[in-house]
Amino acid sequence: MKKENVTKVPETLEECFTALSQLLNEGEVDRLMMSKEDDLVMYHHGLGRFIRNEWGLWSDGPLNDHFKSLGFIHPDDMSSTIIEAYRAHLRKESFDINAKIEFYKKYWEKVDNEQICSD
């Protein structure tokens, strides 16, 4: 990551793109852009953790509020969506955020149902 810090915590997905472009160096941007979709999980503990911790996804900050208003529940889902959407942005590809919201909604419903059944 670049040594310069992002001074303003992003409040929307689009602002995340600007912040990531300021935060990541050219090599990191290139690696992320060239990553296969299935390989994006490798960013979970590095860049993803930074996004969750430094951008307030574990608290009721503006970015967390924004993602919750879209239908997201868990900070892990929010940070992975930011990374996936940024990759699509870099590649000038479309990104279907509604499909992601629906995917995670179904995932958490299944987890909740499994917990109820095991109790």
Tell me the average pLDDT across 16-29: 95
In eight-state DSSP terms, residue 26 is H
Domain ranges within the chain, ordered by starting residue: 13-118
Whether 6 and 22 have beta carbons less than 8 Å apart is answered as yes
Reported as a single tens digit per residue, the pLDDT across 91-117 is: 999 999 999 999 999 999 888 777 666
- The answer to whether residue 7 scores a pLDDT higher than 90 is no
- Kindly indicate the confidence band of residue 69, based on its pLDDT and cuts at 50, 70 and 90: very high
- Kindly indicate the confidence band of residue 6, based on its pLDDT and cuts at 50, 70 and 90: low
What is the rounded distance in angstroms from the CA atom of residue 12 to the CA atom of residue 80?
A: 14
pLDDT reported for residue 8:
85
What is the rounded distance in angstroms from the CA atom of residue 101 to the CA atom of residue 96?
A: 9
Coil/strand/helix, residue 42 = helix
What is the rounded distance in angstroms from the CA atom of residue 106 to the CA atom of residue 35?
A: 26
Average pLDDT, the chain: 92
pLDDT reported for residue 38:
94
